[in-house]
Amino acid sequence: MSQVIARADADSMPSVTTERGERAVFCGLTSIIWLHRRIQDAFFLVVGSRTCAHLLQSAAGVMIFAEPRFATAILGERDLAGMADCHEELDRVVSELLERRPDIRRLFLVGSCPSEVIKLDLANAATRLQGVHENRLRISAFSGSGIETTFTQGEDQCLASMVPDLPAAPEESQRLMVVGTIADIIEDQFRRHFAQLGITDVDFFPAARADNLPSVGPGTRVILAQPYVSDTVSALVKRGAKLISAPYPLGIEGTLAWFQAAAAEWGHSPESVQEALAIPIARAQKSLAKARESLQGRTLHFLPDSQLELPLARFLRDECGMSLIEVATPFLDQTLMAEELKRLGSEVSIVEGSDLDSALARVRASRPDLTVCGMGIANPLEAEGLRTKWSIELIFTPIQGFDQVADLAGLFARPLTRERQLEVGSWS
Ligand code: SF4
């Protein structure tokens, strides 16, 4: 069922249609896969069922054999005799874990779907356990339940659970906080670019080390590296931080505008930022030219999945010459997407939410050259001769910033060039 709910008053904004229905998106537990890579001394203890353990082990199979930093405390029937028993069991599992792993500096208790787990107040359990293990590490809880979260919302919940632990910043100190998980290599590049602009008071949240918590207060300027952190932003704003409105650092234009928005807070003009970053911009333009050849003029449909859809659509249309048929996103936060909506303009049709059957019917009717979607949907579409790109790959791959522009375009070009090779192969 769908309904047009908002046509932004400015004629230049996209129309937004909402859909409610079935969705096929990974649950928030999936975010542990990239969060545990980023926060290197954190441990994620999922309080869940065998299904949850299976999801994590199959999704992150390789990791489990290396140095596992996540586990599942499975609450069986026996544990459910009473809530008191559940809490005792959890305390026992945590104590054993911390004894075995003195290197853990942050423990996340991660909630899941089973009704017994939902009844268990993990936030309270985290507070209780924090009292027991006071100076050793920080403990917080968040939900990764598929009933409450999609995979990118899992990260939002995780970061929001850390906000109360951030130290208070002195009133007068103006610092920049970049929010959203990015690869270490991107952090290094961004730090270099900020330094070229003379901005050195920069924190990244989350940081690579759990103890490295940025301070927050009225002098904090927050800029987002990822668009799916609504609850984290609300929690930071409540602590006095100011959100900088910017597009996302995807593509050359997005990245430049992102740096310009941040630097404006330090009094730099857009022109001076462009000048200071001229070398990486020129390098990115050169590297993008080749990938663009395979994308130019091809049609694209986004099914709702990662919440990265709007900035990616803007990049692929404006910098790669693709033609957008539909851009769907599971949730649309108008504030966090304000700059992207402006850039997309009135010609784009945006769908918020998901009604899988009708979305697939539209894909089948328009037969786009490329459909960006979840893994579960990709196979059936491929079987029907449609080319797909898994949106979850865009979370695992470093795609932000100037130096990654060609890689980002390449992720979309690959399924199309593979198709051409197959066509050529079948003719020869
Ligand atoms: Fe566990 Fe629920 Fe995710 Fe399934 S959807 S893996 S039960 S949290």
Which strand (E) or helix (H) includes residue 354? strand 349-354
- Tens of pLDDT, residue by residue over 135-183, are 899 999 999 999 889 999 999 999 999 999 999 998 878 999 999 999 9
* Residue 6 in this model has a pLDDT that exceeds 50: no
134 exposed, middle or buried (CB, 10 Å; 0-12, 13-18, 19+)? exposed
Within 13 Å, how many C-alpha atoms sit on residue 346's CB side?
A: 6
Q: Report d(CA 76, CA 402) in Å as an integer.
A: 49
Domain of 62, CATH number, reads 3.40.50.1980
- Tell me, yes or no, whether 426 lies in a domain: no
Tell me the CA–centroid distance for residue 75 and ligand 1, in Å: 14
Q: How many CB atoms lie within 10 A of CB 51?
A: 16
Tell me the CA–centroid distance for residue 329 and ligand 1, in Å: 21
Tell me the CA–centroid distance for residue 57 and ligand 1, in Å: 13
pLDDT attached to residue 290:
86
Which of 27, 54, 115, 143 has the most ligand 1 atoms within 8 A of CB, as the residue to mutate? 27
- CA max distance for the chain: 70
- Tell me, yes or no, whether 338 lies in a domain: yes
> Of 149, 167, 198, which residue is a domain's last?
149
Tell me the CA–centroid distance for residue 74 and ligand 1, in Å: 12
- Tens of pLDDT, residue by residue over 38-64, are 999 999 999 988 888 888 877 665 444
Same domain, 272 and 341: no
- Going by pLDDT thresholds of 50, 70 and 90, the confidence category of residue 422 is low
Same domain, 288 and 381: yes
* Residue 133 in this model has a pLDDT that exceeds 60: yes
Q: Which residue has the CA at smallest separation from atom 5 of ligand 1?
A: 146
Q: Is the CB of 51 under 6 A from ligand 1?
A: yes
Tell me the CA–centroid distance for residue 28 and ligand 1, in Å: 8
- Going by pLDDT thresholds of 50, 70 and 90, the confidence category of residue 5 is very low
Q: How many CB atoms lie within 10 A of CB 93?
A: 18
For the chain, give the mean pLDDT.
Answer: 89
User: Could you give phi then psi for residue 245, rounded to 5 degrees?
Assistant: -80, 125
- Tell me, yes or no, whether 299 lies in a domain: yes
Asked if residues 50 and 76 have their Cβ atoms less than 8 Å apart, the reply is no
- Tens of pLDDT, residue by residue over 73-89, are 776 555 545 566 778 88
Domain count, the chain: 3
Higher pLDDT, 391 or 24: 391
Q: Which residue has the CA at smallest separation from atom 1 of ligand 1?
A: 52
Q: Which residue has the CA at smallest separation from atom 6 of ligand 1?
A: 52
Mean pLDDT of 209-221: 95
Tell me the CA–centroid distance for residue 93 and ligand 1, in Å: 20
Mean pLDDT of 224-247: 98
Q: Which residue has the CA at smallest separation from atom 7 of ligand 1?
A: 113
Q: Kindly report the CA angle at 229 between 225 and 234, in degrees rounded to 5? A: 120
pLDDT attached to residue 165:
95
DSSP 8-state class, residue 214: P
Same domain, 13 and 90: no
- Tell me, yes or no, whether 164 lies in a domain: no
Ligand 1 atom nearest to CA at 111:
8
- Tens of pLDDT, residue by residue over 336-350, are 999 999 999 998 989
- Tell me, yes or no, whether 351 lies in a domain: yes
Which of 49, 75, 109, 153 has the most ligand 1 atoms within 8 A of CB, as the residue to mutate? 49
Same domain, 290 and 221: no
Closest residue by Cα to residue 45 from 80, 74, 78, 77: 74
Query: Domain residues for 202?
Result: 175-279
